Amino acid sequence: SCRREVAAMDAERLHQTLMRVALERGPLTFLEEIASPLCGWVGDEWSRNRLTEAQEHTASEVLRRVLGFMLQTLRRERREQHVVLTTLAGERHEFGAMMAGIIAATDGWSFHYLGPDLPASAIGAAVKRIDADLVALSIVAPQVPSQPARELIALRRAVGRKVDIVVGGPSSPIVDDVLGEVRATRLDTLREWRELLAQRRGEMADGSR
């Protein structure tokens, strides 16, 4: 149904379908079974010239509206654990970071979504101002293949040693060579992200006792 609506550029019906499914299935199931696969399908079809630019833009705009609504709906009172979500400079694709924020909110974290395409210095300044415990980055289609690794190294310098850095997304293996140097963790799925958040929250709760 969603794919037919993307092909038909029926933005209103696509929005209604996605919102209905999100409400019926809950945020986690919606992200894992609907939103994330749809994002991947749209990207693949567009790269193979099976979707026009207009069709891709229509789907992206609807997804952005739905994910943005979920982020706003799940925003809660100030909590103890804080996570910053964004993408590195040169990365315009933001849906992975938005989905990570939704999962963080459902797991009891205060999330701070900064939008896409931020230099390491700006991310570092936000992390320090918020006093965040964790930074999550999505890497999908960097404009320059070597840029994410450079930005990741700069980000570690900017945030210091105590903040955890997590990267994910279909192109995240591009930074594998520097993960050890920057002491960052790479995850392959949203489920792994949810498990890491629960583990970190438990560790922080134990440490505060």
Tens digits of residue pLDDT in 97-139:
999 999 999 988 999 999 999 999 999 999 999 999 999 999 9
Backbone angles phi and psi of 188, in degrees to 5: -100, -20
> Could you read off the pLDDT of 164-204 as tens digits, one per residue?
999 999 999 999 999 999 999 999 999 999 999 999 888 87
Ramachandran class of 17: left when φ > 0, alpha when ψ lies in -120 to 50, beta otherwise: alpha
Cβ 151 vs Cβ 119: under 8 Å: yes
Cβ 154 vs Cβ 102: under 8 Å: no
DSSP letter for each residue of 97-129? HHHHHHHHHHTT-EEEE--S-B-HHHHHHHHHH
In 3-state terms, what secondary structure has residue 9?
A: coil
146: tokens are 């070597």
Task: Express as a percent the part of the chain with pLDDT over 90.
Answer: 89
Cβ 6 vs Cβ 14: under 8 Å: yes
Please choose, from the candidates 135, 64, 134, 56, the residue with its C-alpha nearest in 3D space to the C-alpha of residue 95.
Answer: 64
Residue extents of the structural domains in the chain: 2-74, 82-207
Please choose, from the candidates 120, 176, 116, the residue with its C-alpha nearest in 3D space to the C-alpha of residue 145.
Answer: 176
Place of tokens 């609907």: 34
CATH number of the 2-74 domain: 1.10.1240.10
CATH fit for domain 82-207, picks 2.40.50.100, 3.40.50.280, 3.30.420.40, 3.40.50.150: 3.40.50.280
In 3-state terms, what secondary structure has residue 164?
A: strand
In 3-state terms, what secondary structure has residue 6?
A: helix
Ramachandran class of 84: left when φ > 0, alpha when ψ lies in -120 to 50, beta otherwise: beta
Q: Which helix (H) or strand (E) holds 159?
A: helix 147-159
> Could you read off the pLDDT of 32-47 as tens digits, one per residue?
999 999 999 999 999 9
Q: Record the pTM.
A: 0.93
